[in-house]
């Protein structure tokens, strides 16, 4: 984890805020801060923001804290096996905010942003290059996050719109995901006709269990009588590896074939026993 903890890192966080302040409070081109600004631009792969709240002479302690914790926050926004690339940015403010995303740094494949409401309450609306992405109610302490693949987000903008009286912390940066396999030949075969039957679904789950056991992360005894098979594992990377190889596409298709009925309880749907007589199209 690329956590900022020591004094030197904290000094750099303060210096970054001061550099940001100079840019925001002066219309003149900087001459002697190019090295620092260049380092920031390089680390972020061209990402920059406007409108963040900082104090001209003495940075807000909340802003310093936001920058010092940015790497921790960004890293925690997804699977723990992903690693931070470069130095994420932390900002505080209360107005609308825009992130302009440049070219990802070497090795990065995912761009993550996390908005935490510090004070007040209202709604945070997110759009990516003008297209609505999500809208979340926000009260003090609540957090909303999102991510996009590097190939989808590079060169675009993420705009955070504030509705209500909100003070926020925004953290964003790049992550690297270790490789996972493509779908196995057996999973491709099950998907070939575009329909997943019950026997194909359970066979894929058996292969998935075998993959987990082979990699030293057995799921143990898992009941398979319900409509959707429920499982979990502490080794998230192995779990993602084996689902990608043996189960993910099949499971996604099976669940799409059995959508939540109108008026049904979303929390319990899928846990009921599977009834082949009520599912003639897919029961084979």
Sequence ranges of the domains in the chain: 7-176, 185-278
Three-class DSSP category at 38: helix
Q: Is the pLDDT of residue 43 over 50?
A: no
* Residues forming beta bridges with residue 112, ordered by sequence position: 147, 173
Residue 28 makes CB contacts below 8 A (sequence gap 6+) with none
Closest C-alpha to 65, from 120, 142, 10, 2 = 10
* Alpha helix stretches (DSSP H) within the chain: 7-25, 34-44, 61-75, 150-153, 185-191, 198-214, 236-246, 248-257
Look at residue 110 in the predicted model and tell me its pLDDT.
96
Average model confidence (pLDDT) across the chain = 83
Query: Of the given ranges (30-44, 130-144, 195-209, 267-281), which has the lowest mean pLDDT?
Result: 30-44
- As a whole number, mean pLDDT of residues 271-277 equals 97
Q: What is the pLDDT of residue 281?
A: 96
Q: Could you tell me the pLDDT band of residue 47, with boundaries at 50, 70 and 90?
A: low
**1-11 as b/e, with b when 16 or more CB fall inside 10 Å?**
ebebeeeebee
Residue-level pLDDT at 53: 44
Helix count (H) and strand count (E) of the chain? 8, 7
Residue whose pair of structure tokens reads 């987000």 in the numeric block: 153
211 CA to centre of own chain: 26
The 10s digit of each residue's pLDDT in 105-155 is 999 999 999 999 999 988 999 899 888 777 888 888 898 899 999 999 999
Q: To the nearest whole percent, how much of the chain has pLDDT over 70?
A: 80
CB 233 within 8 A of CB 242: no
Q: Is the pLDDT of residue 38 over 70?
A: no
């Amino acid at each position: 984890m690329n956590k900022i903890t020591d004094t030197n890192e904290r000094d750099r966080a303060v210096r970054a805020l001061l550099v940001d302040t100079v840019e925001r409070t002066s219309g003149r081109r900087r001459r002697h801060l190019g090295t620092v600004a260049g380092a920031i631009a390089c680390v972020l792969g061209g990402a920059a923001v406007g409108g963040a709240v900082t104090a001209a002479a003495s940075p807000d302690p909340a802003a310093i804290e936001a920058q010092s914790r940015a790497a921790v926050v960004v890293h925690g926004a997804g699977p723990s096996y992903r690693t931070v690339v470069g130095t994420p940015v932390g900002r505080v403010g209360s107005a609308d905010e825009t992130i302009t995303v440049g070219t990802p740094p070497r090795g990065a494949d995912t761009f993550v942003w996390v908005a935490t409401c510090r004070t007040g309450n209202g709604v945070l609306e997110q759009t990516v290059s003008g297209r609505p992405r999500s809208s979340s109610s926000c009260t003090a302490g609540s957090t909303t996050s999102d991510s996009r693949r590097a190939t989808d987000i590079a060169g675009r903008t993420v705009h955070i719109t504030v509705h209500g009286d909100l003070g926020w912390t925004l953290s964003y940066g790049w992550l690297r995901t270790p490789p996972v396999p493509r779908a196995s030949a057996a999973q491709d075969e099950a998907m070939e006709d575009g329909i997943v039957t019950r026997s194909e679904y359970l066979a894929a789950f058996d292969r998935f269990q075998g993959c987990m056991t082979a990699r030293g992360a057995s799921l143990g005894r898992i009941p398979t009588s319900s409509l959707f098979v429920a499982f979990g594992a502490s080794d998230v990377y192995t779990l993602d590896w084996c689902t990608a190889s043996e189960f993910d596409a099949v499971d996604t298709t099976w669940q799409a074939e059995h959508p939540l009925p109108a008026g049904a309880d979303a929390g319990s749907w899928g846990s009921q026993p599977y009834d082949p007589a009520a599912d003639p199209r897919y029961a084979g």
